[in-house]
Amino acid sequence: MSTKMQGLFGSATKIDAENEDNQDSEEVTADENDSSDNHDDTDESVSTDTPALKDIDGPHYSIGIDLGTTHCVLSYVDISDPDADEIIQEVLSIPQLTAPGVIEEKDQLASFLYQAHEAEINDGETTLPWTNEPDYLVGEIARNLGTKTPIRLVSSAKSWLCHAGVDCKAAILPNEAPEEVEKVSPFQASVAYLEHLCAAWDKQHPDTPISEQDITLTVPASFDPAARELTADAAKSVGLDNAVLLEEPQAALYSWIEKSEGDWRNHADVGDIILVIDVGGGTTDLSLIAVTEEDGNLGLTRIAVGDHILLGGDNMDLALAYTLKAKLEKEGSKRLESWQVQALTHACRAGKESILSDEEADNIPIVVPNRGSSLIGGTLRTELTRDEVDSVLLQGFLPEVDSDAQPAVNARAGLRTTGLPYAQDAAITKHLAHFLTRQINAIDDIDGISLADNASFIHPTAVLLNGGVLKAPRFSKQLLSVVNSWLDNEDAPEARLLTGVDLDLAVARGAAYYGYARKGKGVRIKGGTAAAYYVGVESTMPAIPGMAPEIQALCIAPFGMEEGTSVELPKDEFGLIVGEPVGFRFFGSKTRREDVVGTRLEYWNDDELEELDEIEITLPEEDRKTGEVVSVHLSSNVTETGTLELNAISNQNGQQWKIEFDVRDD
């Protein structure tokens, strides 16, 4: 009978700490002759005419793709002339259906997929410039149709990619849809958005197909290795084999650098700690980037990232929906059904955006579909007010809290419906306070930066905001005010706000600039892995009633391990089980910075290591017996793409087994 391991490998020998192979990180600093000093600042206005191409070898463009929770954006930089003195960067206008038979061009592709009923769409009404019959309805038409029939709408596919409790390649979306609605996987939805972007590009640039360009695809800094691998696989499935991954907060900072037209050095000093706060449709992403001096030049180093927090604009829309639900029921309406709450949530999203973008808008009519015989008789009507938006969103999501505040953790019910693991506490400021307190030691190894003795949290000196939620001035003002109140209480200087980026387009623009910087033409941020990663090693011990074998955590990638580097542990011998199902346990730490490759932990505190999703897999026998234990040593690799790989190598003949990070238990 097959058995399931609780660890990853059986331990065979003790690690020789004196011979740990610690991979040095690549040092990347700013170029004082950064060619971003002068460049064209064209932005949203994009011509569909392909410019005259130079006779060049290699990619013509560096393309950045923001595969967002609620919107996707594609930006590009011309890299055909290595001697050019200016950056020519643009944003692709994306043709998409906004209603049956209606095509419009927009800078953003809404990250929604709609499974239409056959009666909703007539023949010829889904035609796009590159196909008469697209496989899926994506973009603005999906969001618009989904507002009326939310049970057919796929949303937040990106958030599902990082859900450890589901098979991301299984057809599970729309979540809780009835059987008659065809479902797709989070992975396939992501592929559908990328396919639309690729087709739009190739239609407008037939001489420079996207598969032949440099591609940078952005992901949340907090994405785990499995989610990164799934994102990379989605890119490969549409022909983007050369795509690399970049953390979204870094991309936002790259955009700020590019937008500054070379003036960024006048707004950043050695010793600065830049706090990047990215609040998008589905997630809150936090990062700290230090400004250092390296060989006389300014350098940028990402020193910390936050947890994967499913908290953003979607939560705000839902909060407003439940506020209006209570108001409708108080006014005498029957209890709203779940599908009506979904429709109300989409209506609140549009109402919220109208109020936050228009200072003249105080009341927005909200119409909720109802079961009735006539169109008018079958609707419920209410309104969303500015006071409701301010009270629910500002007080609920951005409250004034102390710097030592922590997000509330509530006891969970034993049974719950399937869905995304949303943050339990909606207060973004609490998550931010916890992050800054937890990362107080993030600058210990950074020369030239120190904290005051009385500091209880790391003190940012500058703040860069990103994400559609923070476009609202009152939100950004409130967030900065809370951070500065914490600094003032510890007699630290106020953090200044870095401005000048388009919060909707910054991530894609920054990703395109990153590809340009990789050619040696601009400043690069030193980053590497956003956490230290460990694999569980099960100890060999006699059976003891009621006691499972002890698990040790072996460091396979230290914090900051750079892309394109690898390391082997040839003197560490392990037993690898092949031919039967086994469980591989992985851990991550965003605070243990001193661990190097090969460090083995026998015990750790709950706040030091976070267990990631367990991977279940059957490794091929390769002419061996089922259940045979093979003597192996390990090698780890952070690919140029930005994904983590782990390989077990036979000590007898060099045969290798790769542990796939995108394999999850269903």
- What does the pLDDT look like over 241-267, one tens digit per residue? 989 999 999 999 999 999 988 788 888
pLDDT of residue 331: 85
pLDDT in tens, 490-505: 999 999 999 989 999 9
- Answer for the pair 252, 282: CB distance below 8 angstroms, yes or no: no
The two structure tokens encoding residue 132: 């008469």
pLDDT at 285 over 70: yes
Helix (H/G/I), strand (E/B), else coil: 345: helix
Name the burial class of residue 208, with classes exposed (0-12), middle (13-18) and buried (19+) by CB atoms within 10 angstroms of its CB: buried
If one compares 547 and 575, the residue with the highest pLDDT of the two is 575
pLDDT at 35 over 50: no
Number of H helices, E strands in the chain: 12, 31
Average pLDDT over residues 269-291: 93
If one compares 34 and 502, the residue with the highest pLDDT of the two is 502
The span from the CA of 143 to the CA of 122, in Å, is: 18
pLDDT at 54 over 70: no
Q: Which segments of 449-606 are extended strands (E)?
A: 462-466, 496-498, 525-526, 532-538, 551-557, 565-577, 582-584, 586-589, 600-601
The span from the CA of 366 to the CA of 443, in Å, is: 49
pLDDT band at 540 (very low <50, low <70, confident <90, very high): low
pLDDT at 67 over 60: yes
pLDDT band at 4 (very low <50, low <70, confident <90, very high): very low
Share of the chain above pLDDT 90, in %: 50
Share of the chain above pLDDT 70, in %: 86
Nearest to 79 by CA among 508, 506, 517: 517
Strand partners, 257: none
pLDDT in tens, 119-155: 999 999 999 999 999 999 999 999 999 888 888 999 9
pLDDT at 309 over 80: yes
Strand partners, 73: 66
Strand partners, 74: 65
Nearest to 255 by CA among 412, 64, 81, 494: 64
pLDDT band at 416 (very low <50, low <70, confident <90, very high): low
Average pLDDT over residues 261-286: 90
pLDDT of residue 37: 40
pLDDT at 11 over 50: no
Residues 6+ apart with CB under 8 A from 613: 164, 165, 224, 226, 586, 664, 665
The span from the CA of 291 to the CA of 293, in Å, is: 7
Q: Which residues of 607-638 are buried (b: 16+ CB within 10 A; e: fewer)?
A: eebbebbbbebebeeeeeeeeeebebbbbbbb
Residue with tokens 């209410």: 382
Strand partners, 66: 73
The span from the CA of 207 to the CA of 294, in Å, is: 41
Q: Which range among 211-215, 278-282, 492-496, 536-540 shows the weakest confidence by mean pLDDT?
A: 536-540
Q: What mean pLDDT is reported for the chain?
A: 85
Residues 6+ apart with CB under 8 A from 54: 60, 80, 81
DSSP assigned state of 128: B
- Answer for the pair 560, 571: CB distance below 8 angstroms, yes or no: no
pLDDT of residue 203: 98
pLDDT of residue 378: 62
The two structure tokens encoding residue 562: 């750079």
pLDDT of residue 47: 36
Total residue length of the chain: 666
Q: How many CB atoms lie within 10 A of CB 94?
A: 24
At how many degrees (to 10) do helices 248-259 and 506-517 cross? 80
Average pLDDT over residues 540-546: 64
pLDDT of residue 2: 30
User: How many Å is the maximal CA-CA distance in the chain?
Assistant: 79
pLDDT at 111 over 60: yes
DSSP letters for 308-332: -B--SHHHHHHHHHHHHHHHHHHTT
pLDDT of residue 543: 55
Q: Which of 77-86, 397-406, 601-610 has the highest mean pLDDT?
A: 397-406
DSSP letters for 223-281: --HHHHHHHHHHHHHTT-TT-EEEEHHHHHHHHHHHHTTT-GGGS--TT-EEEEEEE-S
pLDDT at 26 over 50: no
pLDDT at 547 over 90: no
If one compares 434 and 474, the residue with the highest pLDDT of the two is 434
The two structure tokens encoding residue 585: 């346990």
pTM of the model: 0.82
Chain Cα centroid distance, residue 343: 26
